[in-house]
Amino acid sequence: MTPIEFAGSRFFTLGVELEFQLIDRESFNLVPVAPTIIDHVPDALQSRVVQEFLQSIVEIRTGVCDTVDDAKEDLQATILAVQKVAEAHNCLLSSSSLHPFACPEDQVLSFGERYARIMKELQYVGRQFICQGLHVHVGMPDGETAIKVCDTIQAYLPLLLAPSCSSPFFRGEDTGFSSYRTKLFEALPLAGLTGFHQTWKGFEREVQMLRDNHVIADFRDLWWDVRPSPFLGTVEIRIFDLPLRFAHVLGLVALAQGLVAGLTRNMAEHQPISHQVLSRNKWQAARHGLGGIFVDPLGLLGHGSMPMVDALSRLITVVQPMLVSFGSQAYVAAIGELCQTMNGADKQRQLIAEGRNFPEMLQQLHNEYWS
């Protein structure tokens, strides 16, 4: 077995990746201008802005950050710079995780051998994949710690998904889901729940088996909801939709950091978890968002079924000592407030119910991003 070297990072450093849609300022439809936008980004920010699967999506990423404050400054600088370039090319950045009316078959694939290989295999499933998300990297000192976190955090990932949900519409229709992006993503091979690896050796064995049998060609083909990132020395949490507001992005980054810190300190027992419970909890978050039901398979938040909002509130309380130590409790307060209001999917439905059409809805959401 070929060992997988884990680079290792300082405990709980942060890296954040945001995938934005590029939409025309007049039609509000997706436009394939990512290569042009990236070419015109200032040289100092070139490493922060990269292409994604489709040319109507652009990814903005931070460097290595010690705190959420650092991530905030890093992201703001890049987003504002990219916004300026986008506006000069008659388009806007849009932060919902799924464009509400675009036709998937109209989208243009990004250049590159890997993207061509993926699309050749995915076919119609891949052509539907016009969704975006938020990824949060948290620094880990070694592979054993990373696997412990990846195994255990799966129990609580639905509590990170539910407040982030922002993808209720697809092809001009209400899907009935708070996060239809989640269901599109699960159609991809090797996406979703990861199973229980127990040790770094267990993870290495699985990756070796997948490579030996030509199931994966690249480590990045593991599209799990959470995965270790050996080359960066992080745990990468990938379950989020892209929140509609920047304040909620920061709140979820802070909550993820606090949860990871708690799990490394044995906040919950490292043990196998029922796949059925994990699947059901994730379904509840994707289908109903903050209106879902949650079952804690590890008992950290209590036993039995409970409303998703109660479980989220309890989680925030449990990780509060970690948030205080990081100085990030004020950021997570914005997520706690969602328990009394609405997530991004609810907001979009509210605007449509009030009589806005999709372009008007997208314009308003764009205007409110920094609020």
Q: How far is CA 361 from CA 96, 115, 168, 182, 325, in A?
A: 11, 31, 13, 22, 39
Contacts of residue 79, defined as CB under 8 A and 6 or more positions apart, other chains included, come to 18, 60, 93, 246
Q: What mean pLDDT do residues 168-196 have?
A: 92
Average pLDDT over the chain, rounded to an integer: 93
Contact 241, 134 (CB under 8 A): yes
pLDDT at 187 over 90: no
Place of tokens 């490493």: 47
Q: Are strands 234-237 and 226-229 parallel, antiparallel or unpaired?
A: antiparallel
Is 43 in a helix, a strand, or coil? helix
pLDDT of residue 109: 63
| pTM (predicted TM-score) | 0.96
Q: How many CB atoms lie within 10 A of CB 272?
A: 10
Which of 227, 238, 224, 237 has the alpha carbon at shortest distance from 186?
224
What CATH class does 14-367 carry? alpha beta
d(CA 158, CA 277): 11
pLDDT (tens digit, 9 = 90+) per residue, 46-94? 999 998 778 899 999 999 999 999 999 999 999 999 999 999 999 999 9
pLDDT (0 to 100) of residue 75: 98
Residues 338-365 have a mean pLDDT of 95
Task: Calculate what percentage of the chain has a pLDDT beyond 90.
Answer: 81
Q: What pLDDT, in 10s, does the model give residues 244-268?
A: 999 999 999 999 999 999 999 999 9
Residue 291 has pLDDT above 90, yes or no: yes
Q: Summarize the confidence of residues 261-289 as an average pLDDT.
A: 96
Give Dmax over CA atoms of the chain in angstroms. 60
195-217, pLDDT tens digit by residue?
A: 899 999 999 999 999 999 988 87
The larger pLDDT score, comparing residue 113 to residue 96, is at 96
pLDDT reported for residue 103: 85
Question: Which residues touch 248 (CB under 8 Å, ≥6 apart)?
Answer: 163, 164, 334, 335, 338, 344
Q: Does pLDDT of 110 surpass 70?
A: no
Q: If phi over 0 gives left and psi between -120 and 50 gives alpha, with beta otherwise, what is residue 12?
A: left
The CA-atom distances, in angstroms, between 359 and each of 21, 28, 122, 329, 367 are 14, 6, 30, 35, 12
Note the pLDDT tens digit of each residue in 215-250: 887 777 888 999 999 999 999 999 999 999 999 999
